[in-house]
Amino acid sequence: MDAPPVQYVKTSDDFNIAFSVVGEGRPVVLVPPLFHHLQLRWRQPDSLARALAARFQLVMFDGRGTGMSSRGLELEEFEDTHLVRDLEAVVDYVQLRKVVLVGAGSSCHTAVFYAAKYPDRVEALVLISCKIDQGLSPAAPVMFRQAANVDWDAFLYEITRAGKDHEETLREVEDLKRMVDPSDFAVRTRVLSSIAPELARLNAPTLVIHPREIRTPSNEDCAEVASRIPGAQLVVTEGGEGTNAVGDVESAIAAIVHFLASVPSTAADDGQAIEPVSNLSSREVEVLRLLASGKSNQQIADELVISLNTVRRHVSNVFDKTGVANRTEASVYARDHGIV
């Protein structure tokens, strides 16, 4: 299955957030972890995103500082609760009145912050490998974080290599380098907070999953999270070797499907539907953004390293798919839809 088209929405503090909508059925929002890139994650045949999209209508996105979204975070201005703004922007843009949120690892905190802030908008919550206090494990050497600032490749190799051969590890390292750069990684991991105050305030049906082979967070960590959320369920699934927060995807999906079957969906009652802005491909979105910035077809071709004829074809497709008649209207469309 090809990667779904990428769209953009602007947050309340002017970050461009890349997102995609794919699949059919009950709407589910996958909250992204620190290492994320829409198209790279989709390329993985055993990804949680693919498994969810095969069963639900999936909304997924890249958080600020990662993937195809805006980069260049400022430590002095950043708090991890700012990541809730990315989720707010996407949910509002696709007009979801009720959401099922799925988070894994570090993204669980964003899901919990959102659920505590908007209790009437969260239909259900799934937290995989969640611990109350975020960040690197206390058992992880402090030098790991220091190494990230000194030798990024070596750091990524070290956190990736468990259970993989050398060539496989190198391929994954190259993917991780495209997901986040060391400066944004430093900002995202140095500004951490606890979700302890929010847990008791949650009122959505909640499933906490612990893949049994994951050591951090431990089963006790996940059990502590579940014990603090009224009515939450804890399920132990298979897998979790190395840095994989989800564990065995099919085991996790089975637990999620079983859990959501017991949670009534209000989407049909509300007439809720996801209506993507358009069916632009990721390349067409890039062309539209450059077009809206005032670049000529030749300048777009030079920047994207493609032929002039290819640019003309993309521009024609953009006009057809968005219903605009000229470059001026296309620029207005791009501004109205958060693409520029």
Q: Are residues 56 and 197 in the same domain?
A: yes
* Nearest C-alpha neighbor of 250 from the set 284, 211, 218, 298: 211
| Per-residue pLDDT tens over the stretch 19-33 | 999 988 889 999 999
Distances (CA, A) of 337 to 2, 37, 110, 195: 24, 21, 24, 33
Q: What percent of the chain has pLDDT over 70?
A: 87
pLDDT at 336 over 80: no
**What is the residue range of 311's domain?**
282-336
| 35 in any annotated domain | yes
Domain-located, residue 134: yes
125 - beta bridge partners? 101, 206
- With cut-offs at 50, 70 and 90, classify the pLDDT of residue 278: low
What is the 3-class SS of 72-131, one letter each residue? Answer: CCCHHHCCHHHHHHHHHHHHHHCCCCCEEEEEECCHHHHHHHHHHHCCCCEEEEEEECCC
Name the residue among 234, 339, 190 with its Cα closest to residue 277: 339
Q: Do 210 and 331 reside in the same domain of the chain?
A: no
Asked if pLDDT for residue 148 goes beyond 90, the answer is no
Q: Which of 108-117, 149-158, 210-219, 229-238 has the lowest mean pLDDT?
A: 149-158
Tally of domains in the chain: 2
- Which CATH number does the domain housing residue 228 bear? 3.40.50.1820
Residues 6+ apart with CB under 8 A from 133: 192, 194, 196
Q: Residue written as tokens 């000194």?
A: 150
pLDDT value for 139: 42
Contacts of 59 (CB under 8 A, 6+ apart): 19, 20, 21, 27, 28, 29, 30, 90, 91, 94, 96, 274
158 assigned to some structural domain: no
Task: Tell me: pLDDT of 140 over 50.
Answer: no
Same domain, 70 and 90: yes
Residue 127: pLDDT over 80: yes
Rounded to an integer, what distance in angstroms lies between the CA atom of residue 34 and that of residue 98?
A: 25
Question: Is the predicted pLDDT of residue 338 greater than 50, yes or no?
Answer: yes
The pTM (predicted TM-score) of the whole model is 0.76
- 86 and 200 share a domain? yes
Round to whole Å and give the CA distance between 53 and 298.
Answer: 37
pLDDT class of 85 with cuts at 50, 70, 90: very high
Average pLDDT, the chain: 86
Q: How confident is the model at residue 340 (pLDDT cuts 50, 70, 90)?
A: low
